[in-house]
Chains A and B, each alone.
Chain A
Amino acid sequence: MRRPRPWHVGAGAAAAAAAALAAGAGGQAPDPILSAAVIYSSLLVLLAIGLTLTYMTTRVPNFAHASSATIGVYAALVVSRVWEASPYLSIPLAFAVAGATSLTLYTLVLRPLIRKRASQAIQMISTLAFDLVLIAALNIAADHIVRAYQVTAREFTLRSYDAQVGDLPAVLFVAPVAIAGIVVTLHLVLKRTRFGIAMRATIENPDLSSVVGINVRRVYGVSWFLGGGLAGVAGALMSLWFQGDPGLGALLIPSIFAASIVGGFMSIYGAIAGGALVGLAEILGTRWLAGELGSWVIAYRPLVPLAFIAATLMLAPRGLAGVDWRALGRRLHVARA
């Protein structure tokens, strides 16, 4: 019998949201909050997978991760407003640029620090410093876009550049489908290819892996490139629904960390479940609470990831991936009987 995996929780939650959306879309105009919930949680899944990929290899939480998403947002802006092409064409560009940025952070900053046996705290601070450089670069780029092309590059949205499917925006379908495709690909790569096996071996025991001839540095480099690239893809899609700004990363970072911690930080499947859970809770949970308590609750939405971090660390510090679901099920069963 297969052990139930935490991502079943996430998949279930996402499916429930999609069903609710379809029901809503059947009759009257689609509910924008439901659309926002689906898009946001899909993107959070992608961001959490990227962060988890990098964390699993080097064990340093990358505080510059959210700015990789902002790079994707600006790739989409340049492609759709400056080059006047479909924003979806920006996805490969976003993947490449954000991936290269993340690889730069790993090769030029983190790897030398690790070689010099810098403490984990110092490594974390170096990612914060790198983030600062990225934020400055993004702001300079935004100013340049405004000046050179007379295009709004702060607090902008590309919603009107999205295609329509029926009377719904395309990103509503593209985001979950793309995430599903990426997850399946990643799963196959990790389980079926030589590289995936090398990667899993490296994560489990880097020393032993290098002894059997795995190029550990290359494996780490590829995970950092992938992790950053996925964040870039999330950013490119994000701009089609949410507001883009150079400061976007600072707003996203608590949610991304919450999603990864809820997922256990060491499991890609956990990150999927965590991203879906935190994303849906942030949007649908806040709306439900606003209905119960009053609309003032909505402004406190940024506290949701904080609550998730606190709850996870207190109840299940190893996250969803660390929970023994079968044992839990048995115990619930016994309690009910």
Chain B
Amino acid sequence: MSLGPEVTFFVDLLAIYSIYLIINTSLNLEFGYAGIPNFGKVLAVGVGAFVAAAVPGRMLAGMAGIGGDYIGDNIAIMSQVNAWLLDNTGAGIAAFAVTLAVAAAVGAAIGLLTAYPAIRLRGDYLAITLLAFGEGMRVIGINYTEIAGGTLGVQLPDPLVWLPPDLRFPAATVGLVIMAAAAVIYGDRLVRSPLGRLLRAVRDNEVAAESVGKDVMRARTKTIMVAAAMAAVAGALYAFYVGGAISFAYDRLNWTFWPFMMILIGGLANSRGVLVGTLAFVLVRKLITFYKDSLQGIVPFDVVWLDYLLLGVVLIAVLLYRPQGLLPERPTPTVRVPGEDGPAPLTSRLGAIARRLAGG
């Protein structure tokens, strides 16, 4: 059995869509709801990928009793680990779960680090500082080879190695879709919670929020930590999906600028906006790559630059002519807890009072 190009296209599209959904949900929490311009989004994503590069391979090699220099003999050790994983499926899944947990924890710690400037600085200075943080992560990743193999990168153990090769990517994609759905639902519940309303209040008028006794600093810190943990999990998932991690891949364009673009096109502070914006963006980019050969005759330059040009212009146009994005922000209803009747809506209560007054 072999998958056709259309199926591969669809599977890959869905996988990238899922990973970006997690990152964009986290960025939307930070930027859309809390107003924190995290121009260093790549930091948390990259750290998650570094965890995936450094932890599960060493862990499984230790369990399987495979010795050697993990970074230097990475390819040889990984092929032995993957062979061992064929008979030890459970260990692979366990290593995968542990990696995601570690990535989330390290991501939250990174979030705490970024919260330090984020509760002290505003606007442009914060954006520049976070951008510099992200660049610093890449420099360390490229040069400190123990983490992710430096310029050569490392291969990751494949927890799905026991599947037939044709089913590996579709199965991984199903897993990613489930993870992304969980992230989107979690993000949606979070912004409908009191924390979500507090964040918007802080974003729109910090002094007013503080004057009614809200702890602005805590809310911002919490948001950044949650968002960074989510982004780190997404980074680890991406590394598992592509089967390796290399520092060069974690650049500002792919993991900071594109996510900003997607949430801005979709509409800020809006879960459905994230879904729509991410889909529009991922689809356009994938289609350009998919029809690269046919486009090559039409455009007078290398098609690689077409999506830069096109998406750059589209984003400027959106900011100028439709700043609210495709789906504008709307007041979100609070979550009804099942089995517990909340207070009746204000309008019906007012109606009841009016009727009583009229009836005498």
Contact = CB atoms under 8 A, between A and B. Distances in A.
A132 B301 contact: no
A132 B319 contact: no
A133 B125 contact: no
Contacts of A136: 305-306, 308-309, 312
B43 to A, nearest CB: 11
Contact of B312 (A124, A133, A144): A133
A299 to B, nearest CB: 4
A150 B264 CA distance: 41
Contacts of A317: 125
Contacts of B117: 313
A305 interface: yes
A125 B320 contact: no
A133 B315 CA distance: 10
B265 to A, nearest CB: 11
A140 B132 CA distance: 28
Interface string A297-335: 001101101100110010001000000000000000000
A19 to B, nearest CB: 32
Contact of A257 (B132, B142, B260): B132
A118 B127 contact: no
Contact of B132 (A125, A129, A258): A258
B77 interface: no
Contacts of A38: none
B123 A257 contact: no
Nearest to A134: B312
Interface residues of B, number: 43
Q: Is the interface of B mostly helix, strand, loop or mixed?
A: helix
Contacts of B320: 109, 112-113, 116
A313 B136 contact: no
B244 interface: no
A261 interface: yes
Contacts of A250: 252
Interface residues of A, number: 44
Contacts of B37: 121, 124
A86 interface: no
Given A254-B131, A306-B133, A128 B257 contact: yes
A82 interface: no
A139 B309 CA distance: 11
Nearest to B122: A120
Contacts of A121: 31, 35, 37, 123, 127
B293 interface: no
A44 interface: no
Given A125-B264, A137-B309, A118 B323 contact: yes
Given A302-B135, A303-B136, A133 B313 contact: yes
B213 to A, nearest CB: 26
B8 to A, nearest CB: 27
Nearest to A124: B127
A122 interface: yes
B102 to A, nearest CB: 25
A209 interface: no
A335 B136 CA distance: 37
Nearest to A105: B316
Interface string A12-55: 00000000000000000000000000000000000000000000
B129 A310 contact: yes
B125 A313 contact: yes
B124 to A, nearest CB: 5
A309 B252 contact: no
A143 interface: yes
Given A132-B257, A302-B139, A261 B301 contact: no
Interface string A146-164: 0000000000000000000
A125 B260 contact: yes
A300 B264 contact: no
25 contacts: A109-B320, A118-B319, A118-B323, A120-B124, A121-B35, A121-B123, A124-B39, A126-B316, A129-B312, A132-B315, A133-B308, A133-B316, A136-B305, A139-B302, A139-B308, A144-B301, A254-B131, A254-B132, A261-B128, A299-B142, A302-B139, A303-B140, A306-B132, A310-B129, A313-B125
Interface of B: 31, 35, 37, 39, 117, 120-121, 123-125, 127-129, 131-133, 135-136, 139-140, 142-143, 252-253, 257, 260-261, 264, 301-302, 304-306, 308-309, 311-313, 315-316, 319-320, 323
Given A61-B127, A124-B124, A133-B308, 18 more contacts: A122-B319, A126-B316, A126-B319, A129-B311, A130-B312, A132-B257, A132-B311, A133-B312, A254-B131, A254-B132, A254-B135, A257-B128, A261-B128, A302-B139, A306-B133, A309-B132, A313-B117, A317-B125
Q: Considering the complex of A and B, which 7 residue pairs feature the smallest CB-CB distances, nearest first?
A: A136-B308, A132-B312, A133-B312, A129-B315, A136-B305, A299-B143, A121-B37
